[in-house]
């Protein structure tokens, strides 16, 4: 039983990872349709997928005949339609804080290390693989530097990014830490980020959403 939810997913995609976390936190079952971003130039560019998501990015969620793109829009859609295990706090200030944390990662840090950005650096500027890795690592580190400052010594930070319930910001933090590991970015300077990451990873929902737990991983 999948509740009519279908996720176009790639196991290594951190944006899709956010959605998997939200689905598992809410206890929602779903069907996975893998979109291999590397196979033969990337299945995200195939006509059938472009017809669903003209941005040619994963994730994309189908809810029956509704198509929802953009991971944060998907998370907010799930929160509004499936209110169990809320991803956002009840108060406006809290929601603004959580969205600011999430956007700092999802809007300002993550996109600069995206596959198509790195591919463009290679084709337009002949950047080497090492230069691309250094580029991605730079933006990951800058993002975490800001995130650490936003989290540490803030009374609203709890066991997780906001209080003692995992939510939208945590669903962005954990995949970005995964990206940091992929790019060998040291996390020593971000102890609060690391602590929250480990708190999240102790939860079954996060474990089930992890890249290595997905079909086709590896």
Q: Site residues (CB under 6 A) for ligand GSH?
A: 13-15, 37, 42, 44, 57-59, 70-72, 106, 114-116
Calpha distance 21→170 (Å, rounded) = 9
Calpha distance 120→141 (Å, rounded) = 21
Based on C-alpha coordinates, what's the Rg of the chain?
17
- Take residue 148 and report the two structure tokens written for it: 């650490």
Residue nearer to ligand GSH on the CB measure, 108 or 189: 108
| CB neighbours of residue 79 within 10 Å | 19
Residue nearer to ligand GSH on the CB measure, 47 or 93: 47
Residue nearer to ligand GSH on the CB measure, 14 or 157: 14
Residue nearer to ligand GSH on the CB measure, 25 or 157: 25
Quote the least distance from Cβ 207 to ligand GSH, whole Å.
20
Quote the least distance from Cβ 164 to ligand GSH, whole Å.
26
Residues with Cβ within 8 Å of 4's Cβ and at least 6 positions away in sequence, in order, are 62, 63, 64
Quote the least distance from Cβ 191 to ligand GSH, whole Å.
26
Quote the least distance from Cβ 33 to ligand GSH, whole Å.
14
- Take residue 25 and report the two structure tokens written for it: 């936190």
């Amino acid at each position: 039983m999948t509740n009519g939810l279908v996720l176009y997913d790639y196991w290594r995609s951190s944006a899709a990872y956010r959605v998997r976390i939200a689905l598992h936190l809410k206890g929602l079952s779903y069907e996975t349709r893998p979109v291999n971003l590397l196979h033969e130039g990337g299945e995200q560019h195939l006509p059938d997928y472009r017809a669903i998501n003209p941005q040619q990015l994963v994730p994309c969620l189908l809810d029956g005949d509704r198509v929802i793109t953009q991971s944060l829009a998907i998370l907010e859609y799930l929160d509004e339609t499936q209110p169990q295990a809320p991803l956002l706090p009840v108060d406006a200030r809290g929601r603004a804080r959580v969205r600011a944390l999430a956007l700092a990662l999802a809007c300002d840090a993550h996109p600069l290390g995206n596959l198509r950005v790195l591919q463009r650096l290679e084709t337009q500027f002949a950047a080497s693989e090492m230069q691309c890795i250094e580029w991605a690592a730079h933006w990951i580190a800058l993002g975490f530097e800001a995130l650490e400052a936003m989290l540490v010594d803030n009374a609203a930070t709890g066991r997780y990014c906001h209080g003692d319930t995992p939510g939208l910001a945590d669903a962005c933090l954990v995949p970005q830490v995964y990206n940091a590991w992929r790019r060998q970015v040291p996390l020593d300077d971000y102890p609060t980020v690391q602590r929250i990451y480990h708190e999240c990873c102790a939860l079954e929902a996060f474990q089930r959403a992890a890249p290595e737990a997905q079909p086709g991983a590896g």
